[in-house]
Structure 1
Amino acid sequence: MTDLEYLDRADQLLMAVEQCCDRINDDTDADIDAQRVGGMVTLVFANRSQIVINQQKPLHEIWLAARAGGFHYRFDAEKQVWLDTKGAGEFFANLSQYASEQSALALQFKALD
């Protein structure tokens, strides 16, 4: 993957996270504050816990930090998804799990259509 391809895919991922937060806030009692600064999105939940998602341009990875730990994701061109580099799953499924745990609500994040 070229640097430009990475940046395009990583930006799509961050936009999807932001749009999911907007949808979740409209459809549920969740109060997620999504703050984006450049290549980083910080999700702040009502209980003040946070999830931080950021681009790691030199490695062509997305990093996610949550109460559950820190995770690295790399884009799988064949499957068209971001996968954990240690085999622990797909980015949006994992984000949904970690956000649900931290907010105590069933939250669903997904890639843009």
Structure 2
Amino acid sequence: MSLTEARFHDLVDATQQALEELLEDHADDIEISAGMMTIKFKNGSQLIISRQEPLRQLWLAARSGGYHFDYDEESGKWSCEKSEELLGEVLARATKEQAGVELDFEEI
């Protein structure tokens, strides 16, 4: 079953808000503009999370690569279409690798 456009936007908005709250004390700057969230760390590295409306996906750009996530209604989590990792797992690894920050993204 495909997500409706409204449900997709609600899910992405909620995810970005949760990420902003979790990262606000650890990121140097967080910008959200036109559906794209840019998280900048003190060392100059960044993560970019963008909504891909036509595909109903959430994309993450990190130093380790690009990841495409589909929302799984059953688990209530974003899951990578290739690796089947959850968004929170990839974000935890990326923030540790890029900024040396260990955070718990289990609720994301």
- Length-normalised TM-score, structure 2: 0.90
How big is the alpha-carbon RMSD for the aligned residues of Structure 1 and Structure 2? 1.4
Q: Deviations over 1:1-34 (max 9, x none)?
A: 1111111111111111111112xx1xxxx44311
Q: Give the 4+ runs in structure 1 shifted more than 6 A.
A: none
Pairs aligned (count): 106
SS at match of 1:98: helix
Map of 1:15 onto structure 2:
17
Q: Please point out which of 3, 6, 15 is paired with 2:5.
A: 3
Q: Report the identity percentage.
A: 32
How far is 1:93 from its partner?
A: 1.6
Tell whether the 8 Å contact from 2:67 to 2:80 is kept in structure 1 after alignment.
yes
User: Post-superposition shift, 1:36?
Assistant: 0.9
Secondary structure of the equivalent of 1:62? strand
2:53 corresponds to: 57
Q: Which runs of no fewer than 5 residues in structure 2 stay unpaired? A: none
Q: 1:32 to 1:111 in 2, by over 3 A?
A: farther
Q: Determine which of 29, 36, 53 is the counterpart of 1:40.
A: 36
Which amino acid in structure 2 is aligned with residue 40 of structure 1?
A: M
